[in-house]
Structure 1
Amino acid sequence: MPDADSDSIYRLADMTWQQVEAAVEETQTMLLPVGSTEQHGHHMPLGVDVYMPEAIAERVAERTGCLLAPPIWYGVSPHHTFKPGTFTVESETFQHYVRDVCTSAAEWGVENVLLVNGHYLVQDPELDVVVRELTTEHGMRAFHVPLISVFQDAATTVRTSDVSFHASEFETSLMLELFPDLVQMDRAEAVDVPDDALPLTEYDAYGDNRVGWALSAERMNALTHTGNLGDPTVATREKGAEMVEDAVTNVTNLVDALAGLNAPDSAVETGE
């Protein structure tokens, strides 16, 4: 918990309204971690998809001084309901909720919002719609930031498994770096995926997925007895550290650029 009198406070949940009023004089950018609460195999907790984006967003906020909103814990996860502990909400409910959180922030000075998405791939379509609505209907600069995209360079360099889809090499490595006490590597188990993928679809986060597709709870239940897809046993903290730094650096670059746009003498805004 930061000092309530600290000038470096950036977590909105820890601030008074007077501190928020002062903060938006300095920054108009807010990071909103968005995830879901769902099963992540035998070796990781339900909160992985929130823990990851919130921790990465916090590191960005530390570097840039932008605001960090409390995370959104519930997402679109119908395909994970075959295991207990998973929550899911309707797509429309999720979109409206995220949009309303962002537009309420606009009322007190937030102009730029980054939706840092830990439940990437699955709820990307919903967040893309929210970004479009915030931009075209509410006059905000909005961005969907799926973690799988902003740590891609590091992930493709450090990976050693052929398939990393859910709760496997990438997510487990990230959690080993960010929250090692929450990972039970002695319970991690590789789950091979079947060789039945249709053309333009693959069971891999960086596979040849050129068309949109989805999994049902019934299909997931048939694919995995543990809940993960891929091999988490090859995950390491060192891999996670590289992926975290890649993500933080990339998002920091975007936040810094937005700060330049919001500067009073910005040539971009004035047209000079």
Structure 2
Amino acid sequence: MLLENITMTDFQKGLKKTKTLIIPFGTVEEHGSHLPLSTDTMQVYEVVKEAAKRVSVFVAPPIHYGVLTSTRNHAGSIGISANSLRMLTGDIIKSAYDKGLRNFILISGHAGSIHMSALKEIGEEMIDEFDDIKIAVISEYDTIRQESEKLVETKDDGHAGEIETSRILYLAPQLVK
């Protein structure tokens, strides 16, 4: 159930089926001169929307901003601090917890180490604060890289490489230059 597309009544009914919220994280970040700045967000959001078709979960609208390090000075890259990411994520989890959700999957299309550390840190803080909460933090980008190693032709494929280009060609070919 995509939160942005349901009513409060749908939400209340949904709580009878699931207490799980998936929160997708992406970035506004350069991905070479051929891919859109929203590449990370587009990929992870499509993955979680597909998951929501298969299992009963709530899906939050994606968080489009993340912590950037190596790409922060590139044209179009707009990042936030690790503290801002922790605070925003914590506020979202607390608000969703107050509405009855107890299980949270923080899944990121951006795999930057400081970005992922911030998500793990706030996850641990929330587990310390609430006795009945479960939180998983996943790097979707790292997972897809591991799972596709046998398929890709590019050795050590990485940022804006064969995998990401292939996925955006599938999702939005008109956006690939």
> TM-score under structure 2 normalisation?
0.92
Which of these residues, 118, 123, 142, is aligned with residue 135 of structure 2? 142
Query: 1:66: Cα distance to partner?
Result: 0.8
Answer whether contact 2:20 2:58 (CA < 8 A) is retained.
yes
Which consecutive unaligned segments of at least 5 residues does structure 2 have?
none
Which of these residues, 76, 86, 89, is aligned with residue 80 of structure 2? 89
Answer whether contact 1:21 1:108 (CA < 8 A) is retained.
no
Residue aligning to 1:160: 153
Larger-Rg structure: 1
Output aligned runs, 1:1-272, within 5 Å: 10-122=1-113, 123-139=115-131, 140-184=133-177
Q: Secondary structure at the match of 2:40?
A: helix
Query: 1:52: Cα distance to partner?
Result: 0.7
Higher relative contact order (CA 8 A, sep 6+): 2
Identity %: 26
Code of the residue aligned with 2:50 in structure 1: it is R
Code of the residue aligned with 1:58 in structure 2: it is K
Aligned-partner Cα distance in 1 for 2:130–2:165: 37
Query: 1:54: Cα distance to partner?
Result: 0.5
Residue by residue over 1:73-112, the C-alpha shift from the partner in whole angstroms, topping out at 9 and shown as x without a partner, is 1110143232221111111111111111111111111111
Aligned-partner Cα distance in 2 for 1:183–1:98: 30
Residue by residue over 1:121-160, the C-alpha shift from the partner in whole angstroms, topping out at 9 and shown as x without a partner, is 3311111112211222223100111113432443111121
Code of the residue aligned with 1:57 in structure 2: it is V
Q: Secondary structure at the match of 1:161?
A: coil
Answer whether contact 2:25 2:44 (CA < 8 A) is retained.
yes
Code of the residue aligned with 2:125 in structure 1: it is E
Residue by residue over 1:157-194, the C-alpha shift from the partner in whole angstroms, topping out at 9 and shown as x without a partner, is 1121123221112211222222222222xxxxxxxxxx
Number of aligned pairs?
175
Q: Secondary structure at the match of 1:116?
A: strand
Q: Secondary structure at the match of 2:107?
A: strand
Code of the residue aligned with 2:20 in structure 1: it is T
Which consecutive unaligned segments of at least 5 residues does structure 1 have?
1-9, 185-272
Q: Secondary structure at the match of 1:156?
A: coil
Answer whether contact 1:114 1:145 (CA < 8 A) is retained.
yes
Aligned-partner Cα distance in 1 for 2:38–2:142: 20
Q: Secondary structure at the match of 1:143?
A: strand
Code of the residue aligned with 2:43 in structure 1: it is M
Superposition misfits of 4+ residues, deviation over 6 angstroms: none
Answer whether contact 1:38 1:47 (CA < 8 A) is retained.
yes
> TM-score under structure 1 normalisation?
0.61
